[in-house]
Amino acid sequence: MKRSIIATAAAASLLLVACGDDENDAADTTAAPTTTAAPVNDYELSQVEVNAEAAACAEGKTLEAGALTIATGDPAFPPYVIDDAPESGQGFEAALALALAKAMGFEGETVSWVRTSFDTAVAGSEATNDFNLQQFTINDERKAVVSFSDPYYTANQAVLGAIDGPAASITSMADLKGLKLGAAAGTTSLQYILEVIQPDAEPFAFNSNADAATALGNGQIDAIISDLPTAIFWAAAGSEFGGIDNTKVYGQFPLGDQGGDQWGLLFPLDSPLVECVNLALAGLVEAGQLEQITELWMTNYTEAALLPES
Protein backbone atom coordinates (compact mmCIF):
# COMPACT_ATOMS: atom_id res chain seq x y z
CA MET A 1 0.00 0.00 0.00
CA LYS A 2 1.37 3.42 -0.91
CA ARG A 3 2.41 5.52 2.07
CA SER A 4 0.24 8.51 2.77
CA ILE A 5 1.28 11.97 1.63
CA ILE A 6 1.28 13.04 5.28
CA ALA A 7 3.77 10.37 6.31
CA THR A 8 6.09 11.03 3.43
CA ALA A 9 5.85 14.78 3.81
CA ALA A 10 6.74 14.42 7.45
CA ALA A 11 9.82 12.45 6.51
CA ALA A 12 10.74 15.07 3.96
CA SER A 13 10.28 17.87 6.50
CA LEU A 14 13.58 17.30 8.23
CA LEU A 15 14.86 18.21 11.62
CA LEU A 16 16.66 21.51 11.23
CA VAL A 17 20.18 20.86 10.02
CA ALA A 18 22.87 22.38 12.20
CA CYS A 19 25.21 24.87 10.59
CA GLY A 20 28.37 25.06 12.69
CA ASP A 21 30.40 28.21 13.23
CA ASP A 22 33.57 26.23 12.51
CA GLU A 23 33.95 25.96 8.75
CA ASN A 24 35.30 22.44 9.18
CA ASP A 25 32.19 21.21 11.00
CA ALA A 26 30.14 19.11 8.58
CA ALA A 27 26.37 19.34 8.82
CA ASP A 28 24.86 16.47 10.80
CA THR A 29 21.89 15.15 8.84
CA THR A 30 21.83 11.67 10.28
CA ALA A 31 18.96 12.09 12.73
CA ALA A 32 15.70 10.28 12.03
CA PRO A 33 13.02 12.41 10.38
CA THR A 34 10.45 13.93 12.69
CA THR A 35 6.77 13.10 12.30
CA THR A 36 5.51 16.41 13.74
CA ALA A 37 6.41 19.22 11.36
CA ALA A 38 4.45 22.43 11.88
CA PRO A 39 3.76 24.56 8.80
CA VAL A 40 5.90 27.69 8.63
CA ASN A 41 3.21 29.79 6.93
CA ASP A 42 -0.38 29.56 5.75
CA TYR A 43 0.19 29.48 1.99
CA GLU A 44 -2.49 27.71 -0.04
CA LEU A 45 -3.05 27.53 -3.79
CA SER A 46 -6.47 29.11 -3.27
CA GLN A 47 -4.69 32.37 -2.41
CA VAL A 48 -3.24 32.67 -5.91
CA GLU A 49 -5.33 34.83 -8.22
CA VAL A 50 -5.44 34.77 -12.00
CA ASN A 51 -2.93 37.24 -13.41
CA ALA A 52 -4.90 38.86 -16.24
CA GLU A 53 -1.80 39.87 -18.18
CA ALA A 54 -0.19 36.43 -17.88
CA ALA A 55 -3.45 34.66 -18.76
CA ALA A 56 -3.97 36.79 -21.86
CA CYS A 57 -0.37 36.17 -22.87
CA ALA A 58 -0.72 32.37 -22.52
CA GLU A 59 -3.85 32.10 -24.62
CA GLY A 60 -3.15 30.03 -27.73
CA LYS A 61 0.49 29.41 -26.81
CA THR A 62 0.30 25.98 -25.14
CA LEU A 63 0.75 22.61 -26.81
CA GLU A 64 -2.93 21.83 -26.36
CA ALA A 65 -5.46 24.64 -26.62
CA GLY A 66 -6.95 25.52 -23.25
CA ALA A 67 -4.65 23.16 -21.34
CA LEU A 68 -1.19 23.26 -19.76
CA THR A 69 1.20 20.28 -19.79
CA ILE A 70 3.93 20.33 -17.13
CA ALA A 71 6.87 17.92 -16.91
CA THR A 72 8.89 16.68 -13.96
CA GLY A 73 11.33 13.85 -13.25
CA ASP A 74 10.68 10.12 -13.05
CA PRO A 75 10.71 9.66 -10.16
CA ALA A 76 10.43 13.12 -8.60
CA PHE A 77 11.90 13.50 -5.10
CA PRO A 78 11.17 15.61 -2.03
CA PRO A 79 11.46 18.42 -1.22
CA TYR A 80 10.46 19.23 -4.80
CA VAL A 81 7.62 16.72 -5.13
CA ILE A 82 6.15 14.75 -2.22
CA ASP A 83 5.12 11.12 -2.71
CA ASP A 84 6.13 11.36 -6.39
CA ALA A 85 2.71 12.96 -6.99
CA PRO A 86 3.17 16.44 -8.51
CA GLU A 87 -0.54 16.81 -9.17
CA SER A 88 -1.06 17.08 -5.39
CA GLY A 89 0.80 20.38 -5.28
CA GLN A 90 2.83 19.06 -2.36
CA GLY A 91 6.52 19.94 -2.62
CA PHE A 92 8.42 23.04 -3.70
CA GLU A 93 8.33 22.63 -7.47
CA ALA A 94 4.90 20.99 -7.52
CA ALA A 95 3.45 23.90 -5.54
CA LEU A 96 5.23 26.48 -7.69
CA ALA A 97 4.10 24.87 -10.94
CA LEU A 98 0.44 24.83 -9.91
CA ALA A 99 0.67 28.43 -8.68
CA LEU A 100 2.09 29.54 -12.03
CA ALA A 101 -0.55 27.52 -13.85
CA LYS A 102 -3.36 29.13 -11.88
CA ALA A 103 -1.91 32.59 -12.42
CA MET A 104 -2.12 31.92 -16.17
CA GLY A 105 -5.68 30.65 -15.92
CA PHE A 106 -5.07 26.88 -15.80
CA GLU A 107 -6.36 24.80 -12.90
CA GLY A 108 -7.78 21.37 -12.15
CA GLU A 109 -8.40 19.24 -15.23
CA THR A 110 -6.77 21.81 -17.53
CA VAL A 111 -3.38 20.97 -15.96
CA SER A 112 -1.68 17.64 -16.71
CA TRP A 113 1.72 16.20 -15.82
CA VAL A 114 4.18 14.13 -17.84
CA ARG A 115 7.56 12.61 -16.94
CA THR A 116 10.92 13.11 -18.63
CA SER A 117 14.55 12.34 -17.90
CA PHE A 118 16.80 15.22 -16.92
CA ASP A 119 19.40 14.76 -19.65
CA THR A 120 16.77 14.40 -22.39
CA ALA A 121 15.17 17.65 -21.29
CA VAL A 122 18.38 19.71 -21.23
CA ALA A 123 19.34 18.30 -24.65
CA GLY A 124 16.29 20.01 -26.12
CA SER A 125 15.14 16.82 -27.83
CA GLU A 126 11.55 16.77 -26.62
CA ALA A 127 8.34 18.68 -27.22
CA THR A 128 6.02 16.75 -24.93
CA ASN A 129 5.32 19.56 -22.48
CA ASP A 130 4.86 23.30 -22.13
CA PHE A 131 7.53 23.58 -19.45
CA ASN A 132 9.62 21.33 -17.23
CA LEU A 133 10.76 21.64 -13.58
CA GLN A 134 13.64 19.45 -12.38
CA GLN A 135 16.03 21.87 -10.69
CA PHE A 136 17.43 22.99 -14.04
CA THR A 137 20.37 25.36 -13.68
CA ILE A 138 20.30 28.23 -16.15
CA ASN A 139 23.50 28.45 -18.20
CA ASP A 140 24.63 29.64 -21.61
CA GLU A 141 25.43 26.16 -22.93
CA ARG A 142 21.87 24.99 -22.35
CA LYS A 143 20.40 28.20 -23.75
CA ALA A 144 21.65 27.12 -27.17
CA VAL A 145 19.04 24.34 -27.30
CA VAL A 146 16.35 25.24 -24.73
CA SER A 147 14.82 28.36 -23.23
CA PHE A 148 14.48 29.26 -19.54
CA SER A 149 12.21 31.35 -17.39
CA ASP A 150 13.54 33.91 -14.98
CA PRO A 151 15.16 32.18 -11.97
CA TYR A 152 12.96 30.98 -9.12
CA TYR A 153 15.61 29.56 -6.74
CA THR A 154 19.37 29.64 -6.11
CA ALA A 155 21.19 26.59 -4.70
CA ASN A 156 24.71 25.56 -3.76
CA GLN A 157 26.38 22.26 -4.58
CA ALA A 158 27.12 19.81 -1.76
CA VAL A 159 28.85 16.50 -1.08
CA LEU A 160 27.06 13.46 0.36
CA GLY A 161 28.88 10.32 1.50
CA ALA A 162 28.55 7.27 3.72
CA ILE A 163 29.03 7.83 7.44
CA ASP A 164 31.61 5.05 7.68
CA GLY A 165 33.09 5.37 4.17
CA PRO A 166 36.06 7.19 2.61
CA ALA A 167 34.14 10.48 2.60
CA ALA A 168 34.19 10.49 6.42
CA SER A 169 37.73 11.90 6.33
CA ILE A 170 36.75 14.98 4.30
CA THR A 171 37.79 18.30 5.83
CA SER A 172 38.17 20.36 2.65
CA MET A 173 37.36 20.35 -1.05
CA ALA A 174 40.92 19.22 -1.75
CA ASP A 175 40.14 15.92 0.02
CA LEU A 176 37.56 15.12 -2.65
CA LYS A 177 40.17 14.67 -5.38
CA GLY A 178 41.07 11.17 -4.22
CA LEU A 179 37.50 9.89 -3.95
CA LYS A 180 35.29 8.06 -6.43
CA LEU A 181 32.69 10.71 -7.18
CA GLY A 182 29.42 10.52 -9.07
CA ALA A 183 26.54 12.69 -10.27
CA ALA A 184 23.65 12.55 -12.68
CA ALA A 185 24.59 13.01 -16.34
CA GLY A 186 23.91 16.40 -17.86
CA THR A 187 23.84 18.18 -14.50
CA THR A 188 25.88 21.11 -13.25
CA SER A 189 26.89 18.79 -10.40
CA LEU A 190 28.82 16.61 -12.86
CA GLN A 191 30.21 19.73 -14.49
CA TYR A 192 31.34 20.94 -11.05
CA ILE A 193 33.19 17.68 -10.45
CA LEU A 194 35.00 17.90 -13.78
CA GLU A 195 35.82 21.60 -13.78
CA VAL A 196 36.25 22.53 -10.12
CA ILE A 197 37.05 19.42 -8.08
CA GLN A 198 39.02 17.71 -10.88
CA PRO A 199 39.28 14.30 -9.16
CA ASP A 200 42.11 11.85 -9.78
CA ALA A 201 39.69 9.23 -11.15
CA GLU A 202 37.11 9.73 -13.88
CA PRO A 203 33.77 10.53 -12.19
CA PHE A 204 30.73 8.33 -12.66
CA ALA A 205 27.92 9.85 -14.74
CA PHE A 206 24.56 8.24 -13.96
CA ASN A 207 21.32 8.31 -15.92
CA SER A 208 19.46 9.86 -12.99
CA ASN A 209 19.77 10.98 -9.38
CA ALA A 210 18.05 7.73 -8.42
CA ASP A 211 20.84 5.73 -10.07
CA ALA A 212 23.47 7.87 -8.34
CA ALA A 213 21.78 7.24 -5.00
CA THR A 214 21.77 3.49 -5.63
CA ALA A 215 25.47 3.57 -6.50
CA LEU A 216 26.34 5.33 -3.26
CA GLY A 217 24.17 2.96 -1.29
CA ASN A 218 25.93 -0.13 -2.68
CA GLY A 219 29.44 1.32 -2.42
CA GLN A 220 30.13 1.79 -6.13
CA ILE A 221 31.10 5.39 -5.42
CA ASP A 222 32.41 7.19 -2.34
CA ALA A 223 30.34 10.35 -2.62
CA ILE A 224 27.68 12.12 -4.66
CA ILE A 225 27.85 15.75 -5.68
CA SER A 226 24.36 17.25 -5.92
CA ASP A 227 22.45 20.40 -5.11
CA LEU A 228 22.29 20.98 -1.37
CA PRO A 229 18.53 20.46 -0.82
CA THR A 230 18.66 17.06 -2.55
CA ALA A 231 21.71 15.99 -0.53
CA ILE A 232 20.06 16.97 2.75
CA PHE A 233 16.90 15.06 1.86
CA TRP A 234 18.82 11.92 0.90
CA ALA A 235 20.74 11.89 4.19
CA ALA A 236 17.83 12.62 6.51
CA ALA A 237 15.06 10.58 4.91
CA GLY A 238 16.76 7.20 4.59
CA SER A 239 15.85 4.50 2.09
CA GLU A 240 12.39 3.99 3.60
CA PHE A 241 11.39 7.38 2.22
CA GLY A 242 13.56 7.53 -0.92
CA GLY A 243 16.80 8.63 0.73
CA ILE A 244 20.10 6.82 1.30
CA ASP A 245 20.77 5.03 4.60
CA ASN A 246 23.80 5.84 6.77
CA THR A 247 24.88 8.92 4.85
CA LYS A 248 25.52 12.52 5.78
CA VAL A 249 26.16 15.85 4.10
CA TYR A 250 29.83 16.68 4.57
CA GLY A 251 29.44 20.27 3.49
CA GLN A 252 28.39 22.68 0.80
CA PHE A 253 30.76 24.43 -1.55
CA PRO A 254 31.61 28.14 -1.40
CA LEU A 255 29.55 30.27 -3.73
CA GLY A 256 32.60 31.72 -5.49
CA ASP A 257 32.02 33.97 -8.47
CA GLN A 258 28.96 32.04 -9.67
CA GLY A 259 26.70 33.05 -6.77
CA GLY A 260 25.17 29.58 -6.69
CA ASP A 261 23.13 27.73 -9.30
CA GLN A 262 20.07 29.66 -10.45
CA TRP A 263 17.17 27.38 -11.36
CA GLY A 264 14.65 28.18 -14.07
CA LEU A 265 11.70 26.47 -15.71
CA LEU A 266 12.82 24.82 -18.94
CA PHE A 267 10.96 25.31 -22.26
CA PRO A 268 11.41 24.21 -25.85
CA LEU A 269 13.78 26.66 -27.55
CA ASP A 270 12.16 30.04 -28.26
CA SER A 271 8.83 29.00 -26.76
CA PRO A 272 6.38 31.93 -26.80
CA LEU A 273 5.16 30.77 -23.38
CA VAL A 274 8.35 31.94 -21.62
CA GLU A 275 7.14 35.54 -21.54
CA CYS A 276 3.81 34.47 -20.06
CA VAL A 277 5.37 32.35 -17.31
CA ASN A 278 7.72 35.20 -16.44
CA LEU A 279 4.72 37.49 -16.03
CA ALA A 280 3.08 34.93 -13.76
CA LEU A 281 6.31 34.43 -11.80
CA ALA A 282 6.75 38.18 -11.33
CA GLY A 283 3.21 38.33 -9.98
CA LEU A 284 3.94 35.60 -7.44
CA VAL A 285 7.07 37.48 -6.36
CA GLU A 286 5.16 40.75 -5.99
CA ALA A 287 2.43 39.07 -3.94
CA GLY A 288 5.02 37.41 -1.68
CA GLN A 289 3.75 33.97 -2.70
CA LEU A 290 7.02 32.69 -4.19
CA GLU A 291 8.66 33.54 -0.88
CA GLN A 292 5.90 31.69 0.98
CA ILE A 293 6.19 28.60 -1.22
CA THR A 294 9.98 28.60 -0.82
CA GLU A 295 9.77 29.04 2.93
CA LEU A 296 7.12 26.34 3.28
CA TRP A 297 9.04 23.64 1.42
CA MET A 298 12.73 24.59 1.49
CA THR A 299 13.40 26.01 4.96
CA ASN A 300 14.96 22.79 6.28
CA TYR A 301 17.01 22.09 3.16
CA THR A 302 19.42 25.00 3.01
CA GLU A 303 21.87 24.76 5.90
CA ALA A 304 25.17 22.91 5.90
CA ALA A 305 28.69 23.93 6.82
CA LEU A 306 30.84 25.47 4.11
CA LEU A 307 33.59 23.11 2.98
CA PRO A 308 36.85 25.11 2.65
CA GLU A 309 38.93 24.77 -0.48
CA SER A 310 41.96 23.40 1.37
Whether the predicted pLDDT of 29 surpasses 90:
no
22 Cβ contact list (under 8 Å, min separation 6)? 305
Instruction: Tell me the mean pLDDT in the region 300-304.
Output: 91
User: With b meaning 16 or more CB within 10 Å and e meaning fewer, what string describes 294-310?
Assistant: bebbbbbbebbbbbeee
Q: Name the band, by pLDDT with cuts 50, 70 and 90, for residue 27.
A: very low
Q: Return the pLDDT at 257.
A: 62
Domains of the chain (ranges; CATH) run 45-153+261-301 (3.40.190.10), 158-258 (3.40.190.10)
Per-residue pLDDT for 28 more than 80? no
- CA-to-CA separations, 80 to 45, 75, 144, 188, 301, in angstroms, rounded: 16, 11, 26, 18, 11
Mean pLDDT over the full length of the chain = 87
Question: Going by C-beta distance under 8 Å and a sequence separation of 6 or more, which residues neighbour residue 65?
Answer: none
Determine the straight-line distance between the first and last CA of the chain, rounded to whole angstroms: 48
Q: Looking at the predicted structure, is the pLDDT value of residue 38 above 60? A: no
Q: What's the pLDDT score for residue 254?
A: 73
What are 77-136's pLDDT values in tens digits? 999 999 999 999 999 999 999 999 999 999 999 999 999 999 899 999 778 999 999 999
In order of 76, 209, 233, 272, the CA distances from 117 in angstroms are 10, 10, 20, 23
Question: Model confidence at 5, in pLDDT bands (50, 70, 90)?
Answer: very low
Residue 94 amino acid letter: A
User: What pLDDT shows up at residue 258?
Assistant: 58
d(C-alpha 240, C-alpha 238), whole Å:
6
Which letter does DSSP use for residue 287 in this model? T
Instruction: Compare 303 and 38 and report the one with higher pLDDT.
Output: 303
| pLDDT at residue number 256 | 60
Smallest Cα–Cα separation from 155: which of 86, 236, 225?
225
Of 38-42, 56-60, 277-281, 292-296, the least confident: 38-42
Strand locations in the chain (E):
68-72, 111-115, 131-132, 146-148, 153-155, 157-162, 181-184, 204-206, 223-227, 247-252, 261-263, 266-268
Which pLDDT belongs to residue 310? 85
pLDDT of 31: 37
- DSSP-derived secondary structure for 263-282: E--EEETT-THHHHHHHHHH
